[in-house]
Structure 1
Amino acid sequence: MSRIFALIDANSFYGSCERLFDPSLAKRPVIVLSNNDGCAVSRTSDAKPFVAMGQPYFQIKDVCRRENIAVFSSNYSLYGDVSARLNQVYRQFSPEIEVYSIDESFLDFSGFGDRNLEAYARELHETIFRWVGIPTCVGIAPTKTLAKLANRVAKSSPDLGGVCDLRDQGKREEVLKRVPVEDVWGIGRASAAKLQRLGVITAADLAALPSPFARKLLSVVGERIVHELQGQPCLLLEQVAPQRKGCAVTRSFSARVTELDQMLEAVSAYAVQLGEKLRHHSLATEALTVFYHTSPFDTGPQRSVQKCVTLPEASADTLTLLRAARDGARAIWKEGYRYAKAGLVTMDLVRLEDAPRALFDAYDREASARLMMALDAVNAKFGRGTLHPAAAGIKRPWSTQFNMRSPRYTTCLDELPLVF
């Protein structure tokens, strides 16, 4: 049975989510900013002529005002919930699905018999807009790499109506000739430059490379890309996400941190979030690295430091992680600097049930498990952060700012939309 993949991608996802609950934005350009309202990270199509991706907000304030561009802080609660709703609908169209990112998913369309798959993809495209309200594009092809490329064509060609089918080899060859090699999924900037020096300019040129030469030039990854462009599937759906190897919680401060107490409060809050992440994935860590640094854009003295703290045994206990984070932060603290960012990073994670134990138990695992279960249950029921250690702070003047965030319409009872 030949494999058929579909990639469905939400158009300008963050901006589309903002438009979802505010009809006044339907014909108005929208951009969404990064943490602390720093840079543009999402733009609707009508905002792209005025704002470049990653452009700092302070540089475009006047442009946004002049062009009547709506500007929002990131609203991750809303975006994550809408993404989950999209994937619920996707699963009604295919039992096999890979959630590739917050706004992209691969669906397996293999084995659908004599069904007209292009018409089926259009039904999916229309159902998503009717049920969820998010515009999408769908690419269909015999490999995941070609499906990504088909999706890109659908997005850039309005006359296709949001769906591009590249199963036909003749149509595929014509499209590959028009796609720059740097736009092929998996070809990074350095690889693209290397290929262009050799005269490989388009995706068609890349697909024509002999397999041994592609492997020598771009490793086994590049060889797979060539096979995929030729219509030979090498990448299957990852329906079960691979186990995380590492986990991190890092944030830029909304105001420079100059006092140890504030730094300890910040890393304590990050430890709480790290513990939540680890327990959500049933993972534990044996060590964590604490880091903080100044901003290269500040005129004062510069400093970047980190400290690895080893735990008595692998754990996902918030209180254990919090103590380790605070110990690490104290050990590398130095007065006289204006710190701009801090974070916690873990590597070599292990499954909680497989975590090695110390010869003499460092703590009561059963009591810890019960306490963390109760903590997570309270926060799941009443909202994240409802219950947390006092060391993580209350007012948090250093915390990330979202001064232009829209309401969390679907995840916060106090911010539900009202109809009068």
Structure 2
Amino acid sequence: MRISVIGCGYLGAVHAACMAELGHDVVGLDVDEAKVRKLSQGVAPFHEPGLPELLARHVASGRLRFTTDPTQIADAQIHFIGVGTPQLQGRLGADMTYVHQAVDTILEHAVAPQDGRPVLVAGKSTVPVGTAEGIAARLAESGRDIILAWNPEFLREGYAVGDTLTPDRIVYGLCEDRAVGNRAKELLDECYATQLAADTPLILANYPTAELVKVAANSFLATKISFINAMAELCDATGGDVTRLAEAIGHDDRIGRKFLQAGIGFGGGCLPKDIRAFMARAGELGVDEALTFLREVDTINLRRRDHAVNLAEEAVGGRLVGKKIAVLGITFKPDTDDLRDSPALDIAGRLWARGAELAIVDPAASHTLRERRPDLNVPETVEEAVTGADVVMLLTPWREYVRLDPSSLISLVNSPNVIDGRNVLDPHEWADAGWTYYGMGRGVSAW
């Protein structure tokens, strides 16, 4: 099929490359010339495992193109909207500017195919419920055969290529008019033929249900994370071990073990802004009481960052001024270079504001951090970072940091204090090597 992807950020670039991998002829459209230049060279503008190989292969074959010229999307049968919906400045709601601009571009440039089938606009961006109905009305008012489906994405950074090529489900949000909805379904079925042939579950729904799926999923995951972090606060107060608690309740298949990892909380470009936009939209709809629990979810999450800073102060005797803190990992999660709403970056900023001397290392984001904050010390190696440190803080659980040998590092530090912000280190191993270990809701228990 001939496909366009409008918006070539994280979602759009991955989707475009994966659609090419499925055999489609794909053009990605973006206004950022530098990004398009990189992508056109087959170079990923961000860190995502598996993406560079797809880009290089399909750009070279000619199956995948990137452009800033909207006329190049004219003959696409499906136009995927993959633009960002960031949080509004100073407000909880989502900024829909880029979504509406994408619709404008499609209406201006899309050309109906000769086979009698419609042009399909497929929304992938995470939007407030009710958005699709408005877009569908705009398309209908144009008087042209352009119809809408909402096809939410469920990508995890670090696993996005696999999540696109072998998803755990596909959702179509279709028009309530069955004739229109079936025409959209036919085109999407052709697009996702490979996944559907592999028996990937397909859920058919109306527009509002499809819009709600992504924000409902993210809100549920955020709630699980904040729940276990609330339990970590209780464990800190009582001497309990939240990792054992999570293991015990996770064996109940009604609860499950995933997303019960206590630590410094969630971040990134999706969960925080999505739950806030969800709350804002509920307020607009007059049902804000249905989501008031998300305010506490957000509050607990932010409180974990304060707790990490307080642990650092405790480790150095109460005053951070002039103390060297080695920060291991600055991205919001491993296997990405994404610094958006990163708890690790926020914690580092708070430490710096209290007078600490920082040394920050990260396998993927060091270069970006040096460009953004030339005033910060961003050494090349862990050994450089921890030399002379009063506290070592593991804030992003990159594999190479989880596997560090505490015995080999202890001779480099000024004081052997380690704060395990993700509860991924073995507290006994570090304590036996001579370190004072601080976990998030866990101590060095005999058990």
Q: TM-score, normalising length from structure 2?
A: 0.26
The structure richer in strand per residue is 1
Q: TM-score, normalising length from structure 1?
A: 0.27
